[in-house]
Copies of this chain bind each other. A is one copy, B any other.
C-alpha cells in the first residue's frame, strides 16, 4: 500500500484518537480530516472540535455530526425487526454502530478528496473488521489505516511518551490504564478488558454506566406501552416519537429499572473468546416489545422462517458484513414480513426485567373465536384434526413398519 495523502479519521477527541491523529501526520506527512459523530455515546462533541483545531486540523476538515436519528432509523430499527441476538444473548450494540461510521468516513473521503480512512480499533477485536469491511464494500479503492496494527506504541508508557513529545494534552485520569474499556452509543454500553478479563469472577457494580444495579431499582413495577408500525416502534405510552427520541426514552426507563445488563463470554470473529458486560436498557425493552407485537400479528410461517434466519443475520452483523449482499437479502425477507407488525404492547418493567403482559392490534391474527374453550360456533371442526394427524403420521408409520420388518 502506498502512503496515504489525505486521511479521514474517526475521531473521538480522546487521547487515543488524538495520538492517532498526530501519528498519521508525522508518519505519512498527510492531511488529516476528522469525523466526530454523536451516536448517543453521551459525550459532548465541541471539545473534539477544539482539540482537532489545536492539533492543526483545518476548520473545513473538521466534521462533527449528530447521526443519532440515522443510526436508530437505518441501522438499529432494521436490526430489531429481525429480533437479532448474537449467540443467543447479545443485542449487537457495538456491531451495529460501526457500518454507519464507515459509511460517513467514506462519504467524507469522497467529498474531501481523501484517499484513505483511519480508525482506532485494535488488531485483536471485531471492530477493525467491521470498520474495514464496511469501508471496502462502499469504496473498493479506499485505503484503510489501522494504526494499532502498524505502529510500535504497544504499551501505555509508549503512548504517553508519544503524546508528551507531541504536545497532546493528557487528562490526569488517562495517564494510567483504565480498569476496563468502554464503548457506548445510543443502543448500548459495552465494558471489557482488565478487571473483567477473568470470566469466573462477577463483574463489579461500578462497571455499570447507564443502568442502576438491579437491587437499587425501584421496588414498584412500572407499566409502559410501546406502539409499533410496520415493525418499528413509533410511540411510548401513546406519545409519538422519532426513532432516536424513542430509544432515548426507553433507555431512561430501562436504566432506571436496571434492565438489560448482560455478562457474556462471546466468540469474536477473529477466533478468540472474550468477556464483556453489556448494558442495553432500551434495546432490551424494545426486543421484548417487538416479540410481543409479532406474537399476535405475524403468521407462524413467517415467524418460524424469521427465527431460522436470525442466527445467520446476527452473525453477519457481528462479523461486520452489514454492507454485504447476503445481509441485504435477509433484510429484504425480514422487512417483507413486517408489513402488518403494527399495534401496541404493554410491558411491566421491574427489577431488571421487561415482561410483556398484554398486546393488541388492528392487525391481530389471534382469533378468540377459534381458540376458545367454549362453543366456537363451528369456526373449527375438531374432526379435521384426525385427518391432519393421520397424514402427518403416515411417513412415521411407514418408517416404523419398515424398521419392525427389518428387525
Report Cα–Cα, A300/B268, bound state, in Å: 8
Complex contacts, A402 vs chain B, CB 8 Å? 340, 363-365
- CB within 8 A of A394: which of B215, B271, B383? B271
| A366 x B265 contact (CB < 8 A) | yes
| B392 x A129 contact (CB < 8 A) | yes
Is A368 in contact with chain B by the CB < 8 A criterion? yes
| A198 x B301 contact (CB < 8 A) | no
Report Cα–Cα, A368/B198, bound state, in Å: 7
Identify which of A16-24, A48-56, A229-237, A349-357 touches chain B.
A349-357
Could you say which interface size class chain A belongs to?
35 or more
User: How many identical subunits does the complex contain?
Assistant: 4
Report Cα–Cα, A301/B113, bound state, in Å: 31
Report Cα–Cα, A403/B139, bound state, in Å: 10
| B403 x A340 contact (CB < 8 A) | yes
Choose among A140, A303, A310 the residue with the greatest number of B CB atoms under 10 Å from its CB.
Answer: A140
Complex contacts, A209 vs chain B, CB 8 Å? none
- CB within 8 A of A332: which of B270, B272, B304, B332? B332
| B311 x A304 contact (CB < 8 A) | yes
Q: Which residue of B lies closest to A344 (CB)?
A: B200
| B362 x A406 contact (CB < 8 A) | yes
Report Cα–Cα, A406/B393, bound state, in Å: 37
Complex contacts, A372 vs chain B, CB 8 Å? 197
Complex contacts, A388 vs chain B, CB 8 Å? 129, 270, 384, 387-388, 390-392
* A20, chain B: closest CB distance, angstroms: 15
Complex contacts, A87 vs chain B, CB 8 Å? 295, 303-304, 307
Is A88 in contact with chain B by the CB < 8 A criterion? yes
Is A173 in contact with chain B by the CB < 8 A criterion? no
| A291 x B88 contact (CB < 8 A) | yes
- CB within 8 A of A202: which of B201, B358, B366? B358
Is A26 in contact with chain B by the CB < 8 A criterion? no
B-facing residues in A28-78 (Cβ within 8 Å)? none
B-facing residues in A184-243 (Cβ within 8 Å)? 193-194, 197-203, 214-215, 219, 221
| A129 x B389 contact (CB < 8 A) | yes
Report Cα–Cα, A205/B371, bound state, in Å: 22
Complex contacts, A394 vs chain B, CB 8 Å? 270-272, 370, 380
| A386 x B146 contact (CB < 8 A) | yes
Report Cα–Cα, A261/B155, bound state, in Å: 49
Is A162 in contact with chain B by the CB < 8 A criterion? no
| A385 x B270 contact (CB < 8 A) | yes
Complex contacts, A129 vs chain B, CB 8 Å? 385, 388-389, 392
Report Cα–Cα, A400/B375, bound state, in Å: 24
Complex contacts, A139 vs chain B, CB 8 Å? 400
* A350, chain B: closest CB distance, angstroms: 6
Q: Knowing A321-B301, A333-B332, A337-B325 touch, does A214 contact B351 (C-beta < 8 A)?
A: yes
| B149 x A385 contact (CB < 8 A) | yes
Is A249 in contact with chain B by the CB < 8 A criterion? no
Interchain residue pairs with CB less than 8 A apart (6): A87-B303, A140-B399, A181-B373, A270-B385, A272-B394, A308-B308
Name A residues whose Cβ lies closer than 8 Å to a Cβ of B: 83, 87-89, 122-124, 128-129, 132-133, 136-141, 146, 148-149, 154-155, 177, 181, 193-194, 197-203, 214-215, 219, 221, 261, 263-267, 270-275, 291, 295-296, 299-308, 310-312, 315, 320-321, 323-326, 328-330, 332-337, 340, 346, 348, 350-353, 355-360, 362-368, 370-373, 375, 380-404, 406
* Extra A-B contacts (20), CB below 8 Å, given A265-B359, A270-B388, A274-B371: A87-B303, A129-B385, A129-B388, A137-B393, A177-B373, A199-B359, A214-B351, A214-B353, A271-B392, A272-B371, A273-B366, A275-B371, A299-B324, A301-B326, A304-B315, A340-B406, A350-B351, A386-B387, A387-B390, A388-B391
